[in-house]
Amino acid sequence: MASLELKGVRKAFGSTPILDDVSLSLESREFIAFLGPSGSGKSTLLRIIAGLETADAGEVWLEGRRIDTLPPGQRDIAMVFQHYALYPHMSARENMAFGLRNAKVPSDEIDRRVMDAAGVLEITPLLDRKPAEMSGGQRQRVAIGRALVKQPKLFLLDEPLSNLDAALRLRTRVELAQLKQKVDASVIMVTHDQAEAMTLADRIVVMNDRRIQQVGAPMEIYSRPANTFVAQFVGSPAMTLIQVKLSDGHGAAQVKLGDGSVVQTTIPRDTLPSGDLRLGLRPEGVRVADGAATTRAKVELVERLGERALVYARLADGQPITAEDSAYSRLAIGDEVGLAIDGAAAHLFGLDGTGHHGTAAA
Amino acid sequence: MTAQRDWRGLLFVAPFLALYSLILVFPLLRGLWLSFNQVDLFGAGHFVGFGNYSRLLHDPVFGTSLVNTFEVTLMIVPVLTVISLLLALALNRAGKGAAILRGIFFASAVLSVTIVTLIWRFMLAPDAGLLGEAWKALGWEPLPFLSDPHLVLPALAITTIWWSVGFPMLLFLAGLQQIPEDMYEAAALDNASGWTTFWRITVPALRRTLILVIMLQTAAQLQLFGQSQLLTAGGPSGASRTAVLFLFESAFGRWELGYASAAAEILFLIILAVTLTQYWATSRSEAGHGR
């Protein structure tokens, strides 16, 4: 049975539309990430699921029960807020017990659940401290603990790692992944950080401009982006998009760059729309090569990342392209280089932005 | 930092210090000195030691005025605190209506005490006042608020509450705006009722404002003067004479400046003691709270 189901959810603030006909279905015990830039509506969608905002239209179902008509506290949902929202005058223990007290859970049961959660999160020594006496990381653990003790059917995490420093963020990311294994519930995490979404989520929901752009497993999102937005938003650096012309022929599509050089893709020609196309290339699909070069470009910047180097260059017709070179690249700005484009890893996008992918990019 | 620099720094605060000494420190010490002398407005007085103080302790008029002051303060402060908190809770929202009402409820605070007592004289007068008419409409005998010794202090309290409600309301509004919205959202997800949210989230967050309002209002109402002088002149038969009205009458009615100064020193010590007790009590409970 589906865990959470969204059916045609719409929301506008005044005359500004925020969400436009959003539908989504979560598997049981699935970890989903809502990924998108600021203003894409992902936080609003999370708040509609939690009951902190009301949808203008549409329904929210959780395990066969319609919940969008219920108050937030009766939805079987727990949320970890971006700024934790711990009650400042209560100790960690009281913070975690507050919701259970309101739900009239017997006090020995409350104690047991709080101690269990504190043990899992390693915050037992902090239980009698107030939020002001804790570090940011400790506060976040208490906030997660407050959600855990409720034993909800669905966890909502609003940008859970954004307030932590880089080292703690990496550690907490691992811990969140481990925690996910221990709880018998689905999790939705809102984030604008694609690395977080890629490492934690079973499936990613990419949102932009009021709509869901694509739903898929992390590598599917990366290797088969549904449109140019997903292609450029996911992956760092962003995918290069180059204007190309479709050559005549049958079978796999062949495209022509501005300087006339040809890239042979594995994308079936008959699935493609007519008219102009854009060729999508990730840096790992474009190698700096002297021998069998597909085309030539002029180097504008070399970014040495340690394990590899990224070469930002310009094609003869002025279009930018990003290529990969070995870590010990000797290229310098202004150099003319040959680029070998791996046609099997290439993507094509129609005028409307829809993506088409080859057989290799599975 | 050199000693020379310290002196130059002093130059910057010198104008303030001079003014401060002239209009605050000097009168304070002068008042203390006066309280040990028998002195009127004309001619030099003579030193009487604690004479004024021992006379005050045996003066039933002064004793009654102190009791009146405490009674009226006890009537005003709790009610004023609760009403201003309720107003702040009701008006803590965006929108034109709430903004206009906030302005209206604060408006009474900008009136002078003369206007306030004038208004309330009309309100409280038994034969033609608004309250009297309301009483009559309900079929009751109008209450003689300003001439019954048992009703005059409540009348003073009502007048004062109406006049003073604006500022504490503003303090509470400021306190309410400091509470982050996600605290209430977390409480909603924690299934807290409106009542639980108020007592467990709002009130603890307003604790400091609450203490501030109570301390400020207590110190202010212990010095209640204008309403009592203008509404009833302390009457009937001293039933509404407050401590400050007593020292005003001693100083500028009977010209006993030393005696009035001694009364002022005693009132000062009482206010200091009350304030320090409140401070001690709240900081002690805060320590217990933080444990």
Residue B82 has pLDDT above 90, yes or no: yes
pLDDT at A230: 94
- C-alpha atoms less than 13 angstroms from C-alpha of A151 in its C-beta half-sphere: 9
Q: Please indicate if any CB of chain A lies within 8 Å of the CB of B286.
A: no
Q: Do the chains contact at B290 and A72, CB–CB below 8 Å?
A: no
Q: Is the ipTM of this structure higher than 0.90?
A: no
Each residue of A114-126: pLDDT tens digit? 999 999 888 999 9
The overall average pLDDT reported for chain A is 90
Two tokens, residue B27 = 């009168």
By Cβ distance, the residue of B182, B187, B204 closest to A83 is B182
pLDDT at B5: 64
Q: Do the chains contact at B186 and A81, CB–CB below 8 Å?
A: yes
Each residue of A65-110: pLDDT tens digit? 999 999 999 999 999 999 999 999 999 999 999 999 999 999 999 9
CATH entry, A240-357, from 1.10.10.10, 2.40.50.140, 3.90.1860.10, 3.40.50.11540: 2.40.50.140
Q: Best residue in B189, B200, B201 to probe A by mutation, most A CBs within 10 Å? A: B189
Q: What residues contact A167, with CB distance under 8 A and at least 6 apart?
A: none
The CA-atom distances, in angstroms, between B220 and each of B211, B224, B229, B268 are 14, 7, 16, 12
Q: Do the chains contact at B196 and A78, CB–CB below 8 Å?
A: no
| Gap between the Cα atoms of B151 and A75, Å rounded | 55
Q: Do the chains contact at B182 and A81, CB–CB below 8 Å?
A: yes
| pLDDT average, residue stretch B43-49 | 79
Nearest CA in chain A to B207: A89
| Gap between the Cα atoms of B206 and B171, Å rounded | 10
B3 compared with B26, residue with greater pLDDT: B26
| pLDDT average, residue stretch B74-97 | 92
| Gap between the Cα atoms of A225 and A355, Å rounded | 6
Find out whether B46 and B220 touch, Cβ atoms under 8 Å: no
Tell me the pLDDT band of B256, cut-offs 50, 70 and 90: confident
By Cβ distance, the residue of B185, B190, B289 closest to A102 is B190
Residue A358 has pLDDT above 70, yes or no: yes
DSSP string, B208-271: HHHHHHHHHHHHHHTT--HHHHHHTTT-STTTT--HHHHHHHHHHTS--HHHHHHHHHHHHHHH
Crossing angle (nearest 10°) for helices B243-252 and B60-91: 130
| Gap between the Cα atoms of A206 and A34, Å rounded | 6
Phi, psi at A250, each rounded to 5°: -125, 170
DSSP string, B109-155: GGS-HHHHHHHHHHHH-TTTSHHHHHHHHTT-PPP-TTT-TTTHHHH
Residue A351 has pLDDT above 90, yes or no: no
pLDDT at A77: 93
By Cβ distance, the residue of A86, A89, A102 closest to B204 is A89
Domain positions in chain A: 4-224, 240-357
Q: Do the chains contact at B180 and A85, CB–CB below 8 Å?
A: yes
CA distance B197 to chain A (A): 10
The overall average pLDDT reported for chain B is 87
Q: Best residue in B178, B181, B190 to probe A by mutation, most A CBs within 10 Å? A: B190
| Gap between the Cα atoms of A195 and A118, Å rounded | 28
pLDDT at B291: 38
DSSP string, A298-312: EEEEEEE-SS-EEEE
Residue B124 has pLDDT above 50, yes or no: yes
| Gap between the Cα atoms of A118 and A126, Å rounded | 9
Residue B182 has pLDDT above 80, yes or no: yes
Two tokens, residue A225 = 């982006």
By Cβ distance, the residue of A78, A82, A88 closest to B189 is A78
The pTM (predicted TM-score) of the whole model is 0.81
Q: What is the CATH class of A4-224?
A: alpha beta
Q: Do the chains contact at B182 and A51, CB–CB below 8 Å?
A: no
Q: Do the chains contact at A72 and B188, CB–CB below 8 Å?
A: yes
pLDDT at A297: 92
Residue B290 has pLDDT above 50, yes or no: no
Report the SS3 class of residue B174: helix
Each residue of A240-266: pLDDT tens digit? 999 998 887 778 888 988 888 888 888
pLDDT at A361: 46
CA distance B185 to chain A (A): 7
Residue B41 has pLDDT above 80, yes or no: no
Two tokens, residue A124 = 């037992």
Neighbours of A117 (CB within 10 A): 22
| Gap between the Cα atoms of B29 and B140, Å rounded | 54
Residue type, B72: V
Q: Please indicate if any CB of chain A lies within 8 Å of the CB of B205.
A: yes
| Gap between the Cα atoms of A54 and A269, Å rounded | 46
| Cis geometry, peptide bond prior to residue B236 (ω within 30 degrees of 0) | yes
Tell me the pLDDT band of A145, cut-offs 50, 70 and 90: very high
In chain A, the N- to C-terminal Cα span, in Å, equals: 28
DSSP string, B182-216: HHHHHHHHTT--HHHHIIIIIHHHTHHHHHHHHHH
| Gap between the Cα atoms of A175 and B50, Å rounded | 75
What's the distance, CA A97 to chain centroid? 32
A74 contacts in chain B (CB < 8 Å):
191
Percent of the residues in chain B that have a pLDDT greater than 70, as a whole number = 96
A32 compared with A289, residue with greater pLDDT: A32
pLDDT at B286: 66
Nearest CA in chain B to A77: B189
Question: What domains can be seen in chain B, in order of their start residue?
Answer: 44-284 (1.10.3720.10)
pLDDT at A2: 72
| Gap between the Cα atoms of B82 and B98, Å rounded | 19
Q: In sequence order, what are the beta bridge partners of A310?
A: A303, A324
